Amino acid sequence: MTDVEKNAARPVVSLEHARKSFGEAEVLRDISLSVSPGEVVAIIGPSGGGKSTLLRCLTLLERLDDGSLSYGELPVASGGAYGDKNALAAARSRFGLVFQSYNLFPHFSVLRNVMDAPVCVQGRPREEAEAEARALLAKMGLAGCEDKVPCQLSGGQQQRASIARALAMHPQILYFDEPTSALDPELTAEVLRVIKELAAESMTMVVVTHEMAFAREVADRVIFMDGGVIVEQGSAEQVIDHPREARTRAFLAQRGA
Amino acid sequence: MTGMLAEGFLVSLQIFALTLVGSLPLGMLVAFARMSSFKPLALLARFYISIMRGTPLMLQMFAIYFVPFYVFGIRLTTDSKWYATIVAFVVNYAAYFAEIYRSGIQSIPRGQHEAAEVLGYSRTQTFVRIVLPQVVKRIMPAMTNEVITLVKDTSLAFSIGVIEMFTVAKQLVASQVSMVPFAIAAAFYWVFNLLIDALAGRIERKLSYYHD
């Protein structure tokens, strides 16, 4: 194998034997997951099944009790012991996260929301960051909203702005934590369309979602999580249309999928 | 008469300004100590705030005035009254400001910190760029209240013998057997507070470009 091929084969993120408890409650029980470049993974499952905690551990918002985590060649945690500040900072530069509640900075203009971190965290030249931010906002259908503040936008627009904010950092992988759960159906559609466009551009993504139709359409792999374990995973056809596990079937029947 | 009161008011203004210069930043330090995860420090800050808010400012002035004499045997001068007054005002108001800052800082949603953390902002950057500007907007009404109270509290300095406007007014009332000096003093306080109110209103309007 050449170096290029080795890199292509190396997962963007790799999690092994992850465990996480909150007090007595074990939320992640021996979860292993790796995501290849360009892959789109949808995580489905009932509330309290560990989906959000998994995402929070992958984005370093929560720490694993045990298990290892690495981003490409960068080790982040091993046996539940985390690397130093620099290692964590390096890992953070590899991923972006889109929150359910957008979490835009309300006092910044939409443009500044997108360009502030590239300038302030990555030290990129202001002009370059601004030009890229404008281009990203236009791509998200937000041309003309640059000088507005988040509270002047609809929920769907805010979520698209937050996707632009994440993309401006040039992440290798983008995580979405129920990105449309706070939106009504019309606004959900516009956000999902943007995510589909990113999938078409081979953006590596992990999406926690309740939108089965969306998972079926964009996901290369669907993971069903319940009770802190990955119950079953495979193509959308396998997991959503022909689930093998009783728990998956029960969940899907309940959701009317 | 008004001239004498005006001169006294300049002293009141000095107490006012020096108190703000000292207590606004000190309050931030106390707030951080109060929110510290290092328990002894947090406990110490709580105790400090409790004493400062739970006992009269007038007593605190006297306590601070006499400490150098009783503890270190330093001879007290007229200047010591002035320094004791300023120190007492600063440490007292810092406690109140600390609690206002804390309420503001803790009211910023977790999601703001998390979004900043994921984007790679350092803790200092997160505080200065993301949290603090939002805190300022949220605490403006409470801060205005406190600053207006401070304007009137400067009159407490008369009790220790600092010659500010209220002291002057009291002397004039006694020598002229007339309540007019009190009325004029009241007008000074009131007009100055109108100015503060107007300034605060301007700042609040400037910050109303967004809501959250």
Please list the residues that pair with A96 across neighbouring strands: A174
Q: How far is B127 from chain A (nearest CA, A)?
A: 12
Model confidence pLDDT, tens digit, residues A187-228: 999 999 999 999 999 999 999 999 898 999 899 999 999 999
Assess B137–A contact: CB distance below 8 Å, yes or no: yes
| Contact flag B211-A106 (C-beta cutoff 8 Å) | yes
| Contact flag A61-B118 (C-beta cutoff 8 Å) | yes
Please report residues of A whose CB lies closer than 8 A to that of B120: 89, 92-93, 117, 121-122, 169
Residues 172-211 in B contacting A (C-alpha not used; CB under 8 Å): 209-211
The predicted complex's ipTM stands at 0.92
Among A53, A88, A103, most B C-beta atoms within 10 A, so best to mutate, is A103
* Sole residue written with tokens 């005006």: B6
DSSP conformation letters of chain B: -HHHHHHHHHHHHHHHHHHHHHHHHHHHHHHHHHH-SSHHHHHHHHHHHHHHHHS-HHHHHHHHHHHHHHHH-PPP-HHHHHHHHHHHHHHHHHHHHHHHHHHHHHHS-HHHHHHHHHHT--HHHIIIIIIHHHHHHHHHHHHHHHHHHHHHHGGGGGGGT---HHHHHHHHHHHHT-SHHHHHHHHHHHHHHHHHHHHHHHHHHHGGG---
Model confidence pLDDT, tens digit, residues B16-39: 999 999 999 999 999 999 999 999
Model confidence pLDDT, tens digit, residues B48-78: 999 999 999 999 999 999 888 888 888 888 7
| Contact flag B118-A116 (C-beta cutoff 8 Å) | no
Query: Who among B112, B137, B209 is closest to A105 (CB)?
Result: B112
Percent of chain A with pLDDT over 90: 88
By CA distance, what is A150's nearest residue in B? B210
Establish, for the pair of chains A and B, how many residue pairs have beta carbons separated by less than 8 Å.
59
Is residue A242 classed exposed, middle or buried when 0-12, 13-18 and 19+ CB atoms within 10 A define those classes? exposed
The band of A1, judged by pLDDT with boundaries at 50, 70 and 90, is: very low
| Contact flag B125-A121 (C-beta cutoff 8 Å) | yes
| Contact flag A61-B212 (C-beta cutoff 8 Å) | no
Model confidence pLDDT, tens digit, residues B85-133: 999 999 999 999 999 999 999 999 999 999 999 999 999 999 999 999 9
> What's the start-to-end Cα distance of chain A, in Å?
43
Distance CA A223, CA A206 (A): 10
Is A90 strand, coil or helix?
helix
By CA distance, what is B131's nearest residue in A? A105
Residue A8 above 60 pLDDT? no
Bridge-based pairing state of the strands A74-78 and A95-98: unpaired
Is residue A94 classed exposed, middle or buried when 0-12, 13-18 and 19+ CB atoms within 10 A define those classes? middle
Residues, chain B, total? 212
Cα–Cα–Cα angle for B118, B122, B128, rounded to 5 degrees:
110
Among B110, B118, B207, most A C-beta atoms within 10 A, so best to mutate, is B118
Query: Who among A93, A96, A107 is closest to B133 (CB)?
Result: A107
Residue A257 above 60 pLDDT? no
| Contact flag B120-A93 (C-beta cutoff 8 Å) | yes
Residue A49 above 70 pLDDT? yes
Average pLDDT score over chain B? 95
Please report residues of A whose CB lies closer than 8 A to that of B210: 106-107, 149-151
